[in-house]
Amino acid sequence: MPASMDLYDVWNHINVRTALLGVTLFMILFWVFRRPRNLPPGPRGWPLLGYLPQLAMIKGPIHEALGELSQRYGSLVSFSVANHLVVLLQDYDVMKEAFAQHELSGRPTLELSQLTLPGYGVVTACGEPWVELRRFSITTLRGLGVGKSSFEEHITTETKCLMEEIRKTKGEILNPRHFVQNAVSNVICSVVFGRRFEYTDTQFKRLLEALNNIFELIGAGGVIQFVPIFAKMQFLPFVKKIIHTNLSFDEILYQLLFRRNVQQGEVEYNENPRDFAGAFMKAMDDKEEQGVHTYLTPASMQYTLGDLFGAGTETTSTTLLWALHFMVGYPEIQTRVQKDIDRVVGRNRLPRLSDKPELPYVEAVISEVQRLGNTVPLGVPHKCIEDTTLRGYHIPKGATIVANLWSVHSDPSEWPNPSEFRPDRFLDEDGKFVRREKLIPFGIGRRVCLGEQLARMKLYIIFSCLLHQFTFQTPEGAAPLGFKACQGITLAPAPFEICANPRDN
């Protein structure tokens, strides 16, 4: 009896082990063979988890690590992240070809945001909703003067407030982040709400704090937002934080909108809207009265206002921070910029948009800041909305498309010694500014950033005015600034301190 029991136990042990091996083998084979044929090449990753473990273990900048995949797989790479297919575009030509396609012009769903506010905005909508929202947004922004010289006064007024705040430091040490972000965001406030806020305003400060938290938490490329599995894992601490931050941001926007309506009055915005929010509400009312189907809804308004603040504040302020960082790091370039501005503008007035054609070096410096700063290194993800092909490879419906803009801006065949800060790349032999096709900080294709014109105006006016009025340098006795970056959705310089010395004398 004992011998037979031992044999029975052994047999049971073998059966359990065999079953486990069988299940494991089945899962592996299922994972291997379910992968659609003719996908772009790429790393296999783990069963079920895909390439997620490798991404999680990356210690350096993720855009650089992804860029290295092109050395093995080429300019078109695919991999799975928790059963979700990601297609990575690594050079300019393939991006241009891909984003000219209607099928690759969608946006993946903001999975975590849907938990707090179901809907979409102009940045995240697809298909007909996107067409209507984008057409409305572009038309309204143009109507408000964005991109035209008439809007210059709004930016200059805010820039004067920024410079006054900097002057109050009297050349002492300052962290430029909050100064710059306040000014840039206030320009968006003048567009959205028809007014600016004092930098000490409680709700304004809460808005900027919530924006900062969102961009820091989500990570490079916003992958956490777009991968469905994370929305089902709300028990994770970082997911809880993102949900809480989204709720806070939505609440603050709603409060600011309510405050705007109380101050301006419902009758006025219905009759003669003077800002984006008013125009949106009037358009919704008009559509409702006419009985016309529309995608202009309260939810899409909330999202679109958030899109304008998120994209319009974070990217421009980060680019300006990089500009100040590079000016401090390359004082000879800062001096050359100041001499050019003084030559054209003089000392009795501030730079204007009309001076821009005569200041090619200023444009060249801003362009080189955008290239080397790489504010949005992985762009804004796209989504394949219908099965299509790209470069002969099958791109299935639902795949997320990520453009590695960093790899384009760091291509040594286009930019010799790409890690060097050299504004002269954008000047011809006669010293005239030359636009470079492969500088694409605002994206490329059908979904290029709709705020590009406003961003260019802000960058030029704020940067040229700051350099006209101040010389920026490291505090006395401090070590030279490094060029380390903090990675979130945007790539911002690590916190740094500088001194702003007035050039009045």
Q: How far apart are the first and last CA of the chain?
A: 105
Mean pLDDT, rounded, of the chain: 88
- For residue 52, give the H/E element and its range: helix 52-56
379: left (phi over 0), alpha (psi -120 to 50) or beta: left
Residue count of the chain, please give it: 505
| pLDDT, mean of residues 262-278 | 71
Q: Is the pLDDT of residue 501 over 90?
A: yes
342 neighbors 392 (Cβ within 8 angstroms): no
**CB-facing half-sphere around the CA of 226: CA atoms within 13 A:** 24
Tokens of residue 485, six digits: 């970056």
**CB-facing half-sphere around the CA of 222: CA atoms within 13 A:** 24
Q: Report the DSSP beta bridge partners of residue 76.
A: 89
Q: Is the pLDDT of residue 31 over 80?
A: no
Q: Is the pLDDT of residue 107 over 60?
A: yes
Q: Is the pTM of this model over 0.85?
A: yes
Query: What count of other Cβ atoms lies within 10 Å of the Cβ of residue 432?
Result: 12
The pLDDT of residue 303: 92
The pLDDT of residue 24: 56
DSSP 433: B
Residue type, 120: Y
The annotation status of 499 as a binding-site residue, yes or no, is no
| pLDDT, mean of residues 172-190 | 94
Domains 13-104+377-409 and 105-374+410-502 share a fold: no
CATH architecture of 13-104+377-409: 2-Layer Sandwich (3.30)
Q: Check if CATH label 1.10.1040.50 holds for domain 105-374+410-502.
A: no
Our CA angle for 287, 288, 290, nearest 5°, is 65
The pLDDT of residue 1: 46
Our CA angle for 112, 118, 124, nearest 5°, is 75
The pLDDT of residue 6: 56
The pLDDT of residue 82: 82
Residue type, 371: R
| pLDDT, mean of residues 212-233 | 71
DSSP 349: S
Q: Is the pLDDT of residue 270 over 90?
A: no
Q: Is the pLDDT of residue 250 over 70?
A: yes
pLDDT tens, position by position, 296-343: 999 999 999 999 988 889 899 999 999 999 999 999 999 999 999 999
pLDDT tens, position by position, 343-362: 999 999 999 999 999 999 99
> Alpha-carbon distance 499 to 497, whole Å?
7
Indicate the domain borders of the chain: 13-104+377-409, 105-374+410-502
Q: Is the pLDDT of residue 455 over 50?
A: yes
Query: What count of other Cβ atoms lies within 10 Å of the Cβ of residue 452?
Result: 13
| pLDDT, mean of residues 371-394 | 94
- For residue 310, give the H/E element and its range: helix 298-329
**CB-facing half-sphere around the CA of 276: CA atoms within 13 A:** 27
